[in-house]
Structure 1
């Protein structure tokens, strides 16, 4: 009451989200287009701009004790970083992904078929108008390997007290070596939950990505 009467200033809301190399919700990220242009005609990845406006942020705590930090634009571009701490102070393994396909499986049969595809050592991408991608995770083995499962907390407000959504993901990462670098492909099944724990529809997603060096972006 006395602050309102005498013009005292209220403290600014405290952000609960990590800032990875100054990247968080509400910031912009400037990219060096050479990060993908150097790959030439071999790559499927393409981007028509060199600035990302970050409108959402995801966090994944891995069983290994590491953390995955994800930053999203309104049109679903995703920048990702790894760190050994929840705050993202020591970050590494940066990458940038663009959406390629998104589909809603009509039944359990289609879900099983998708998970079977994610278990194979090579993802055959002809149905999605993609080349074949060898498995990047578990690349040391040619045996079938169950995909990785994880939960991602997604925030759209830097000062929120709880995530806007949680997303259960069943996923596998692939990569193919090009003459001038590496191209990544992330294939996943996603099922979101809203803030009240209500599950949403399952979708099958493919994202095409490239690794990023620290000198290739700034915020």
Structure 2
């Protein structure tokens, strides 16, 4: 009543960084050390840390029911969780651990347009002497990059938004076991200019049972 009389409104709180399965901003997790060491000879990343601290959290809303959460760590990696239907453990459909491989700046509008048209989505290509096949196929003759927007919460309280144009690739490393590669064209407004880059990451599947939360 007093708020109505004196024109005061309840203070609005900023949305908090998403959490799931014990993963949260500022937290940490451990991975099965033996499984990492056995997997390492077959994949691109080397020297992966079994214990990682979460320094930022990203969220991508795919549709009304599905979203992707990314937990960025101090090992130049991110744990990616696909959720469908809600935010509980029973809604988890997929978990992957990704490692950043390379980031290339894009300097001009022409280079950016060329990247979106020809540089991100290819039927197959060779990378690190390995052959990779495109996963996300379109219904027509071409399969353009998939557009999405990620909101990212930093440990210092900052929140930012990045437009992304992505394509997923895979290669089989053992029967029914795959390593993945993702090419992403990222576009972010920094002041009055657009900061653009190509980010290449490689990843692999993780079983939730292989994670210990701290």
TM range (shorter): 0.7 to 0.9
Task: Tell me if 1:102 matches 2:103.
Answer: yes
Query: Which residue number corresponds to residue 136 of structure 2?
Result: 137
Note the 1:180-219 alignment, pairs <5 A.
Answer: 181-193=177-189, 200-219=194-213
Task: Assess, with a 3 A threshold, how the Cα gap between structure 1 residues 144 and 105 changes in structure 2: closer, same or farther.
Answer: same
After TM superposition, give the deviation of residue 85 of structure 1 in Å: 4.5
Task: Assess, with a 3 A threshold, how the Cα gap between structure 1 residues 132 and 183 changes in structure 2: closer, same or farther.
Answer: same
Q: 1:169-219, CA deviations, whole angstroms, 9 ceiling, x for partnerless residues?
A: 00001110012621010110111246xx75541011100101101111121
Note the 1:1-219 alignment, pairs <5 A.
Answer: 16-39=16-39, 41-63=41-63, 65-85=65-85, 87-89=87-89, 90-115=91-116, 116-125=118-127, 129-138=128-137, 143-157=141-155, 164-179=159-174, 181-193=177-189, 200-219=194-213
> How many residues were matched structurally?
198
Moved more, 129-138 or 168-177: 129-138
Tell me how far apart the structure 2 counterparts of residues 15 and 108 of structure 1 sit (CA, whole Å).
34
RMSD after superposition: 2.7
Tell me how far apart the structure 1 counterparts of residues 15 and 107 of structure 2 sit (CA, whole Å).
40
Say whether the 8 Å CA contact 2:136–2:167 is kept in structure 1: yes
Give TM-score, length-normalised by structure 1: 0.78
Q: 1:57-89, CA deviations, whole angstroms, 9 ceiling, x for partnerless residues?
A: 001111363010000024531110011246354
Tell me how far apart the structure 2 counterparts of residues 88 and 113 of structure 1 sit (CA, whole Å).
40
After TM superposition, give the deviation of residue 132 of structure 1 in Å: 2.5
Gaps of 5+ in 2: 1-12
Q: 1:76-124, CA deviations, whole angstroms, 9 ceiling, x for partnerless residues?
A: 3111001124635422300001111111023234323322132321133
Structure 2 counterpart SS, 1:215: helix
After TM superposition, give the deviation of residue 151 of structure 1 in Å: 0.3
More strand by share: 2
Task: Assess, with a 3 A threshold, how the Cα gap between structure 1 residues 199 and 154 changes in structure 2: closer, same or farther.
Answer: farther
